[in-house]
Structure 1
Amino acid sequence: MTIQSKILKLAAVAASLFAATAAHAGAGDGLTPLTGNTSAPSNWRFTPGQTFNGVAGALDGVARLSFSNSGGNWACSGSLLAGGQYVLTAAHCADDFTSMKVDFGWANGTATVSRTVAVGSAYVNPNWDGTLDTGADIAILKLNTAVTSIQGYKLSTTNDVGKTFLMAGYGTTSNGTTGGGTNWNDGAWGHYGYNTFDIDSATFNKITDQYVPGWGYEDEWYAPGVTYMSDFDDGTAQHNTLGRIAGATGNNWSSGLGLGANEALIAGGDSGGGDFVWNGTEWILSGVHSWGWQGGACAIYGLTGCDLASTNSSSIGDMSGSTATFSHIAWINSVTAVPEPATYGMMLSGLALVGAMARRRRQQQSGK
Structure 2
Amino acid sequence: MKKTMMMALALAGTLTAGSASAADYVTGGLAQSYMTYTTVGQVSSSRTSAYSGVGSLFVSTVSTATTGLGGLCTGSLIGSGTVLTAAHCLETNPNDPITSIAFYLPSFGDRSAASKIFTASAFAVNPDYEASGGLIGGHDVALFTITGDTSAYDKYGIFTGNPLQQYTEVGTGTIGGPQGTNVGVANDYRKRVGSNIYEYYGNQVFSDVGAGVVMYDFDDGTAAHDVFGRIGGNSQLGVANEAAASPGDSGGPAFIDGKIATVTSFGITGAVFTGYCGGNSIDPYNKSGSTAVTRDLSQCTNSSIGELGGNTLLSYNLDFINGYLNGTVATMAPVPEPATWLMMLLGFGVIGFGMRSTKRRMDAKFEMKIKRLTAGLPA
- Give yes or no for TM over 0.5: yes
Within the candidate set 257, 264, 270, 2:237 is matched to 257
Equivalent residue number for residue 238 of structure 1: 224
Equivalent residue number for residue 246 of structure 2: 267
Distance 1:37 1:84, change over 3 A: farther
Name the CA distance, whole Å, in 2 between partners of 1:183 and 1:123.
38
SS at match of 2:250: coil
Name the CA distance, whole Å, in 2 between partners of 1:108 and 1:203.
39
SS at match of 1:98: strand
1:154 aligns with 2:121: no
SS at match of 1:272: coil
1:63 aligns with 2:55: yes
Distance 1:304 1:5, change over 3 A: farther
Q: Which has the higher contact order (CA 8 A, sep 6+)?
A: 2
TM-score normalized by the length of structure 1? 0.69
Name the CA distance, whole Å, in 2 between partners of 1:188 and 1:104.
12
Could you list the runs of 4 or more consecutive aligned residues of structure 1 that deviate by over 4 angstroms after TM superposition? 7-11, 300-304
SS at match of 2:230: helix
Identity %: 29
SS at match of 2:74: strand
Q: Aligned Cα RMSD in Å? A: 3.0
How far has the Cα of 1:135 moved from its partner? 0.5
Unaligned runs of at least 5 residues, structure 2: 1-19, 93-97, 290-301, 336-379
Within the candidate set 283, 288, 310, 1:307 is matched to 283
CA contact (8 A) 1:232 1:316 kept: yes
CA deviation digits over 1:18-46, x for unaligned, max 9? xxxxxxxxxxxxxxxxxx74343532443
Alignment of 1:337-356 (within 5 A): 337=326, 347=328, 351-352=329-330
Equivalent residue number for residue 16 of structure 2: none
Equivalent residue number for residue 292 of structure 1: 267
Name the CA distance, whole Å, in 1 between partners of 2:183 and 2:160.
33
CA contact (8 A) 2:174 2:189 kept: no
Equivalent residue number for residue 75 of structure 1: 72
Alignment of 1:165-204 (within 5 A): 165-175=167-177, 177-181=178-182, 185-204=186-205
Residue-pair matches, total: 283
CA deviation digits over 1:266-290, x for unaligned, max 9? 001110001111x2xxx11011000
SS at match of 2:243: coil
Name the CA distance, whole Å, in 2 between partners of 1:108 and 1:86.
21
How far has the Cα of 1:108 moved from its partner? 4.1
How far has the Cα of 1:204 moved from its partner? 2.5
How far has the Cα of 1:293 moved from its partner? 1.1
CA contact (8 A) 2:175 2:181 kept: no
Amino acid at match of 2:60: S
Amino acid at match of 2:308: M
Amino acid at match of 1:239: H
How far has the Cα of 1:296 moved from its partner? 2.5
Name the CA distance, whole Å, in 1 between partners of 2:214 and 2:45.
23
TM-score normalized by the length of structure 2? 0.67
Within the candidate set 151, 163, 166, 1:164 is matched to 166
Name the CA distance, whole Å, in 1 between partners of 2:221 and 2:229.
11
Name the CA distance, whole Å, in 2 between partners of 1:194 and 1:286.
13
Name the CA distance, whole Å, in 1 between partners of 2:56 and 2:184.
16
Equivalent residue number for residue 24 of structure 2: 5
How far has the Cα of 1:203 moved from its partner? 2.9
Name the CA distance, whole Å, in 1 between partners of 2:250 and 2:160.
21
CA contact (8 A) 2:171 2:252 kept: yes
Distance 1:257 1:75, change over 3 A: same
